[in-house]
Amino acid sequence: MRAALTAKQKKSYTLSRSSVRFLERLTKETEAPSVSFILDTLIRQAEEQHRRAAIDQAVSDYYSNLSDEDERELSAWGHFSMEQMRETKS
């Protein structure tokens, strides 16, 4: 796992001047070791947001597509769980 995080690949991309200024400003503000470090961090953050959005969508799709019977069963389990928690706290 560590090797995957540290393995680097040199690439060249053309960015707008404002993007370059932004990356350089972030590098200075955060005292990051390099612009590449900042760019890699931003990409990893965007990737994580994308992954979480996909999970959220999958969960939403699952619950949106439940049959009425499945919905009632889940609701019953939820009520049962809440009742058990109340009894445990008493």
pLDDT digits 0-9 by tens, 30-80? 999 999 999 999 999 999 999 999 999 999 999 999 999 999 999 999 999
- Residue carrying structure tokens 């389990």: 77
- Residue carrying structure tokens 């040199």: 10
What is the rounded CA–CA span in Å between residue 48 and residue 35? 20
The DSSP output letter for 86 is H
- The whole-number pLDDT of residue 1 equals 42
